[in-house]
Amino acid sequence: KSEVTARPGETYSSIASSLIAEREGRRPSKTEVHVMATAIAEYNGKTGDQANSLKVDEVVKLPPMRKAV
């Protein structure tokens, strides 16, 4: 999938965690979640304090992700 629509209570971190789990088939580490959440926020043009704000029904574009070898 290339985008998701934010639901109540979702954050870039929760989206990142779900995305990694779905793509990799395992529970991600905190570091992986942080790196992916930052990448998703930046991919959507969010930086600094904006990276912590996610509105309900906001469409979040997901960056392409290569599977680890």
Q: Is the confidence at residue 65, as pLDDT, over 90? A: no
DSSP assignments along 18-69, one per residue: HHHHHHHSSPPPHHHHHHHHHHHHHHTT--GGGGG---TT-EEEPPP-PPP-
Q: What are the tens digits of pLDDT across the range 25-56?
A: 999 999 999 999 999 999 999 987 777 789 99
